[in-house]
Structure 1
C-alpha cells in the first residue's frame, strides 16, 4: 500500500509538457480568468442565492467567497511558480502528497471542470431560449428546452453550444486566446453599464431586511450567508484553470500570480456591485430565475437594456465555457500522460498542438450533462470538488516549502504558515456548509474514483513502473 503514496518527480512532468507551446502572458491569463469567472456565476447565481439563502446579503456571500478564493489563489500561484506543469491540483498533489492523493484531487477536479462547462451551457441556453429565440418568435417545444429531470427530453441549445466550444478549443490555445481577449472587454463593459443604469432604479425598501431572519441559521446566525458563499464558489473556479495552464504560460513564476490575483480583484468588484444593484431593483423573493438580470430589466420596462444584458450574458457564459473546457481537457490529458487514464488521453495532436483525444472525451461528457441535468443540480456538485482541491493545495504550501528539491525563486505566499492554514480551514468550513445531498453525491463520486484507481490506475501508472 505504501506505493500508492509514491511521489512524482517534477522533472517528469516538465519533460512531458515540453511538447506544449508557451503562448500565454499575464494579460492573457487575466482575460482567461475573468472569462471563466464572469459567466454563469454573475448572470445567474446572484438571483438564485438571494432568493434561497441570503436575500440582499448575497453581496456579502460573494465578498466572502472572493476573499477565500484570493487567499487560496496565492497558494496556487506559489505551486505554479515552483512547478509550472499542466494538471493544476492533480499534478501538485502527486508531487507533494503522493499519487493516490493527486489522483483523488484530479478526479474531484474532473467533476468540477466538466460539470462547470455543462452548468455554463444550461445558463447560456436559458438566456438564449428566453430572450433571443423568443424575440425572433421561435419557441422551442418543452421537450427540447429541458432534460428528463425537468419534464423534457434534452436541452438542445445547451448541447449545441458545448459542441461549438469544442471546435474552438480543438484549434489550439491561440484561437481560444483571441476569442477570449475580445469577448472579455465586451462583457465587462456591459456589466458596468448594468450596474450604472440599474443604480438609478434601486428601491431602498428592497434592502429591508438586508439579511432576512429565515436565513439566519447556525453557526452564529451566518448559516444562510455561509451556504450562499459555499455555493457561489462555483463563480470563482476560473483561477484554478489558470494554474492548469501553467505549462503553456510564459514566465509562470511571475505571470500566474498576476493572472490569479488580477482575476479575483476584478471579479469581486463586479460581483458585489452587480448583486447589490440586482437586489435593489427587484425584491430578492422574485429572483429565483435562470436569467435574473434580464428579468430585472424587464420588470422596470428597460427592454433595450434587457437585450444588451442578454448579449453580455451570452458572451460572458460563452467565454467562461472556453476557459473551463480548456482546463478540463488539460487535466484529462495530464491523467492520460501519467497512465492513470488510458494513454490515448495523453497524446498531443501535432497539427494544432492540442490533446485532441482528451478534448473529444470532455466534449461527450459535457454535452451529455448539459443536455440532461438542470443547472442548480450541476452548480451544487461542482463546489465540493473545488473546495476539496482548495483545502489540499492551501495546506500543501507547508510541505512544499520544506522540499529542497523544489527551488522557487518566484512568488511565495505571504504570512507563512498562518495564511495557508487559514485558507485550508476556510475551505473545509465551506465544505461543511454545503447541502447534505451535495456532500453525499460527491462522496460517491470520490469512492468511484478510488475504485478506478485501484482497478486500473495503479496497474497502468507510469510512476508505479518507474525505478
Structure 2
C-alpha cells in the first residue's frame, strides 16, 4: 500500500484539504441545518448541566466551601483560553471530529487517535454523569409532586446501596430517541430544553439573592485552603466540558467559519457568568456543610421554605439536563463516526442513515455504553473520569494551535487567537494544573482506557488508516 504524501508512520498528518474532501463524499455527507444561534444554544445545552445543578453542592461540602465560586472562576479562565484555540482551529478545518481532527492535522495520527479515543471517553462519561444527575432530580420530582419514593435497588448505583439506576437509564433512552430522529429535530429539542435550563438558573438567582446570609460565606470562606479551591476547580471543571464537542457538529452548520466563533466564545462567557453567580447564591443560602446532595438547586430552595420553588426547579432541570446529555452524546457519536470515516476504526462506524443523515451505528454504540456506565457507576466516579478526558483534550488542542502557527503560518484563518503565545500557555498550564488535582485512582482508570485504545490502534487503525493506505492518492489518480 502506498502512503500519503509526507506520511511518516504513526506521525503522518492529515492535510486539511483531505479532511474537507472526505466530508463532501455523498455516503459520509451530513445535513447543514444549524445557524449560529442554534449552535450557541447547543454550546449552552451541552455545557450547562450537572456541573452547576449537581456538582457545586458536593464540591463545596467536600473541598472548597464558599470558595467554590473562585473554583468556578478559575475553571472559566482556563476554558475561555482553550475555547479561543478551538475557535481558531474550527475556522481552519470546518469538519466533524473536534480535537481529534485538529490533532490529526497538527500533531499526527497517533496523537489524533489518543485524542479521539479520549474524547469518546470524555463525552460518553459526561452524558452518563448528567444522566445520574437527571435521575436524582427525577426521584426528587416524584417525591415532591406525587409522594412516590422509588425503591433504592432500582434508583441508585451500587456505591450508594442500589443495584441499577433505572431513572438515569430512562433519561438516556429519551435522549437516544431524539438524537436518532435527525439533527434538525435535535436542534429544536435542544433549544426548548436549554431555555428551561436557563430559566431554572435565573429563577434560583432571582429568588435566592433575597435569602443569602453573609455568615454562610465567612464560616469559613475557604475551609480547606488553596488545595481545596484547586481540587474544587478540578472537580467543577466538569461544568465547562462539553462545549468543545460542539465543534464536532461543524459539518451540520450552515456557515461554520462565521457561526463557530460567535457560538463558542459567546456561549462559554455566558456559562462562566452563570456558574460563578449560581455557586455564590447556593453557598450563601445554605451553609456549605449541608450541601452534599445530588440536587443542590432544588435543595436550597426547600431549605429556605420555598418547596414549590424546589419542585419547579426539579421540572426545569429535568428538561435542561436532557439538553446536556443530548449535546455530549451527539459529540461522542460524531467523533466515533469521524474515526471510522478516516479508517482508524471499521467503516461500520461511519454508516450514515440514508434519509435522516445521522451516524446511526456510532450513535448505537455511544448510547449503549452511556447507559451501562450511568446504570452502575456513581456520579463522582463518572465526573472525575470525564474531567481527565476533557483536560487532556484541551491541553493537546491548545498545543496544536500553537504548532500550526509555526508550521503553517500562511494558512487562512477566519479567526485568530489574540496573543497566542500568552493565551496558549495559560490554557496548557491551567489544564495541567487541574489534571494534577484529580485523584490517583482516576489516572489509573484513564491509563487503562488509553492502553486499550492503543492496542486497537496498532492492531487495526494503523493498518487501515486512509492517510496510510494511499486513499487520497488513489482518488487524485482517478481524477
TM-score w.r.t. the length of structure 2 is: 0.93
CA contact (8 A) 2:154 2:163 kept: yes
**1:182 is the counterpart of 2:188:** no
For 1:262, the equivalent position in structure 2 comes to: 266
Who is 2:14 aligned against? 8
Structure 2 counterpart of 1:108: 118
Paired with 1:408 and 1:427, the residues of 2 have a C-alpha distance of: 28
Distance 1:239 1:112 in 2: 12
Q: How does 1:343-422 map to 2 (within 5 A)?
A: 343-404=347-408, 407-422=411-426
Counterparts of 1:61 and 1:195, CA distance in 2? 19
1:193 paired residue number: 203
Q: Structure 2 residue aligned with 1:342, among 343, 346, 367?
A: 346
Alignment partner of 1:97 is 2:101: no
Residue 137 of structure 1 deviates from its aligned partner by: 2.9
Query: Matched residues in 1 for 2:398 and 2:382: separation?
Result: 25
Structure 2 counterpart SS, 1:200:
helix
Q: Which secondary structure state, in structure 2, belongs to the residue aligned with residue 178 of structure 1? A: helix
**1:153 is matched with which residue?**
163
RMSD over aligned Cα, in angstroms? 1.5
**Paired residues for 1:23-422 under 5 Å:** 23-133=33-143, 135-213=145-223, 215-216=224-225, 222-404=226-408, 407-422=411-426
- Give the conservation status (yes or no) of the 8 Å contact 2:137–2:317: yes
Q: Is the 8 A contact 2:141 2:315 kept in 1?
A: no
Higher deviation after alignment, 146-155 or 331-340? 146-155
CA positional deviation for 1:130 = 2.2
In structure 1, list runs of 5 or more residues that go unmatched: 217-221
Q: How far has the Cα of 1:38 moved from its partner?
A: 1.6
Structure 1 pair 406–41 and aligned structure 2 pair: CA distance change class (3 A): farther
State the alpha-carbon separation in 2 of the partners of residues 347 and 11 from structure 1: 22
State the shift of 1:134 in Å. Answer: 5.1
Of 81-90 and 417-426, deviating more is 417-426
The answer as to whether partners of 2:132 and 2:378 remain within 8 angstroms in 1 is yes
Contact residue 145 and residue 311 of structure 2 kept, 8 A: no
Q: Provide the residue aligned with 1:219 in structure 2.
A: none
Question: 1: distance between equivalents of 2:189 and 2:238?
Answer: 23
CA distance in 1, matches of 2:287, 2:448: 38
Moved more, 436-445 or 45-54: 436-445
Tell me if structure 1 keeps the 8 A contact 2:142–2:149: no
* TM score, norm. by length of structure 1: 0.96
Q: Matches of 2:238 and 2:349 in 1, distance apart?
A: 26
- Please tell me whether the aligned partners of residues 117 and 366 of structure 1 are also in contact (alpha carbons under 8 angstroms): yes
How far apart are 1:133 and its partner, in Å? 4.8
State the SS of the aligned residue for 2:420.
Answer: coil
Is contact 2:90-2:247 (8 Å) kept?
yes
Report deviation, 1:460: 2.2
Shift of 1:383: 0.6
